[in-house]
A and B are shown apart, each in its own frame.
Chain A
Amino acid sequence: MGRASGEGGGARPTPLRSGVWAGVLRRLLRTLATLLVSSFLIFAALYLSPGSPLGFLTHGHSLSPEAVHSIEAQYHLNKPFFERYWLWLTGLLQGDLGRSTITREPVTTLLSPRIGVTFTLVAMGAFLIVVGGILLGVLAGVSGRRIDAGVLAAVTVGMAIPSFVTATILINYLALKLGWFPVYGAGSGFADRLWHLTLPAISLALGLIAYVALITRAAVRVEMGSEHSDTARGRGLRERLVIRRHVVRNALIPVVTVSGITVASLVAGVAVVETAYELPGIGAYLVQSVTNNDFPVVQGICLILVVVYVVVNAVVDVLYLLLDPRLRRSR
């Protein structure tokens, strides 16, 4: 477990002896290895799955042996396991994720219109989490006991309510009763899409705002009590300026890291939120494809989500290595 990130005690021990850049390089290599193993696991797991994709292909209507044979050939169903993995992997590198067993379309063709929806949703969710979390955290950190307690209570409750529950409540009130937001669909065009995805993004973000808010608040508290803030105050700087110049800036590092990791974990939440709002994104499509045993699509979407998750996490770790002044100083 020689991983650089996530060690206890507040500071992250780093392989200092080999320098920051070597650490970055090692992190990247490990990311690549992780991705390769993950791709194998995803492929192998679904290969082992019982039940035949032929079932859905034929809609339950019996099929002639010739037709079965040609389908098997098209989907490489008759080839040995490692050959199929190799075909899949080399296909991946050429941007080919195989064909859906249901629509018989290339998976990439099926995913490309859906990815935009999911990407916008995640981007909006990330925006809400980072901006909302930092604002709430700073508010709680610099305010008195009452506001602090209120903010904390609010974010904790937000964390405890499942996103499918908030979806039900938001649709019923803000969309149906008040008519402020559309009840369905992902919209077309930039502004329209943002408007359509606002409620889903809130549902997606609500459970995660707490992390960023709590870390921000803690960091602000620490920095508020730290020496150079006191020095600044001692020099007669106005309180607001102290907060802006010193407190917030120094609190930023842990906040950036937590934000990055929180945003990465959004990718798992999209399946629930997109299903609750029936959005045409890849998250809802993943759930549908699991139900339909459409394995090439399941493999493709899982791979995309894992890649995003792993890459964002790696970027956060690398940023941390590069940014942390304590690590720089200690070089």
Chain B
Amino acid sequence: MTPPQMRFAPRLPGAAASSRALLRVVRRDRLAAVCMTLLALVVLVAVFAPLIAPHSPTEVNLSSAYLGPSLEHPLGTDASGRDILSRVIFGARASLLGPLGVIALALALGVSIALVAAWFGGWVDTGLSAVIDVLFAFPGLLLAIIAVAVFGVGLTAPMLAIGIAYTPIMARIVRSSALRERALPYIAATTVLGLPARRILWRHLLPNVWPLIVAQSTVMFGYATIDLAAISFLGLGQQPPSSDWGLMVAEGRPAILAGHSAEALYPGIVLVLVVLCVMVLGRRLGDRDDRQLPRR
């Protein structure tokens, strides 16, 4: 589902550098701290998956299917006797790489389009706005499905498609704040000083819009994770024997009928927790007055 709210820019005056903002949010707020820790943990696990995982995620052992939890297999084994813990651990790579690609693409495209449009204005702005308008006509999930029809199943096509679908959201938000920044006296001053446009864009405009971009990217990461998981669930995304979390839930669903729910359960929980944490953090970053979610 394309996040509809993102068509409106959040009410976000420019803030200090994002890392400092993040630290401040985390220090003030225990829920955010917990989320941050959890996400950091998931990222570490993804990076060091081969060192952490007790088994190979694809090693089939047909004589040990559907084992319960044990020291050897802390989360048990799946229908083909593969270690579920190792699959969830390696699945972090598959499941986080996609959304990361989406954000990277939406950022690169969206920010460049927005800054160029905001800076040059006139027919450049009008032309780019027409492109953005057409892109807005395709909800992310629909664009991903079309991409699969054209380029075939896998991670790449849906990832690029969702990245492109998120581009106009990013572009619009960045453009409007860039316009605001541009009108501020300090930018006008740099223009008067005769600095080249590119330098002003990258050195002065972008850093001031950056906190907003970080907050927006964080929220988008959550949606991208859900969208890509849905594509995997539909059988159009990553294919077996990948241990993408969405795919694991889809593959584990029939086994629930026979009473073996572990394969669908654990990746499902991790997926929901990661998305939840990302969204909580994203909203905290976006809310300067920080009152939208309960604090503990």
Contact = CB atoms under 8 A, between A and B. Distances in A.
Contacts of A7: 9, 172, 176
A156 B276 contact: yes
B272 A161 contact: yes
Interface centre among B5, B9, B114, B129 (most CB of A within 10 A): B5
A65 to B, nearest CB: 28
B150 A45 contact: yes
Interface stretch (A97-105, A190-198, A230-238, A267-275): A267-275
Contact of B129 (A1, A265, A268): A1
B8 A268 contact: no
Interface residues of A, dominant DSSP:
helix
A327 B189 CA distance: 33
A286 interface: yes
Contacts of A268: 1-2, 139-142
A34 B294 CA distance: 41
Contact of B236 (A152, A287, A313): A287
Given A3-B129, A272-B230, A291-B236, 8 more contacts: A8-B12, A48-B150, A148-B294, A162-B233, A162-B246, A163-B1, A290-B145, A306-B137
Contacts of A163: 1, 230
Highest count of chain B CB atoms <10 Å: which of A1, A208, A298: A1
A134 interface: no
Report, nearest first, the 8 A-B pairs whose CB atoms are least far apart.
Answer: A149-B294, A8-B9, A268-B139, A1-B129, A8-B176, A160-B276, A268-B141, A160-B275
14 contacts: A1-B172, A2-B129, A8-B9, A10-B11, A33-B133, A37-B134, A152-B294, A156-B276, A156-B293, A164-B233, A207-B1, A271-B142, A272-B233, A306-B142
B149 interface: yes
Interface string A33-59: 111011001100110111000000000
Contact of A1 (B171, B279, B293): B171
Given A38-B138, A271-B141, A265 B150 contact: no
Contacts of A211: 3-5
Interface residues of A, number: 70
Interface stretch (B18-26, B75-83, B248-256): B248-256
Nearest to B2: A265
Interface in A247-271: 258, 261-262, 264-269, 271
Interface in B186-222: 222
B11 A9 contact: yes
Residue of B4, B172, B176 with highest tally of chain A CB at under 10 A: B4
A165 interface: yes
Nearest to B295: A149
Interface in A289-304: 290-291, 293, 295, 298, 302
Interface string A146-181: 001110110011011111110010001000000000
A161 B3 CA distance: 14
B137 A287 contact: no
Interface string B142-180: 100110111110000000000000000001110111001
Contacts of B246: 162
B268 interface: yes
Given A48-B150, A207-B226, A287-B234, A6 B171 contact: no
Given A168-B264, A211-B4, A162 B279 contact: no
B5 A215 contact: yes
B124 to A, nearest CB: 10
Nearest to B172: A6
Nearest to B278: A160
B114 to A, nearest CB: 8
B50 to A, nearest CB: 28
B280 A156 contact: yes
Interface in B114-143: 114, 117, 125-126, 128-130, 132-134, 136-142
Contacts of A165: 249, 268, 271-272
B172 A265 contact: no
Nearest to A260: B4
Given A30-B133, A161-B272, A261-B4, A6 B9 contact: yes
A252 to B, nearest CB: 16
B7 to A, nearest CB: 5
A55 to B, nearest CB: 14
B145 A271 contact: yes
B164 to A, nearest CB: 11
A274 to B, nearest CB: 10
A8 B128 contact: no
A290 B280 CA distance: 35
A9 B180 contact: yes
B54 interface: no
A46 B230 CA distance: 22
Given A1-B172, A287-B234, A295-B149, A168 B133 contact: no
Contacts of A272: 141, 230, 233-234
B235 interface: yes
B229 interface: yes
A131 interface: no
B292 interface: yes
B236 A258 contact: no
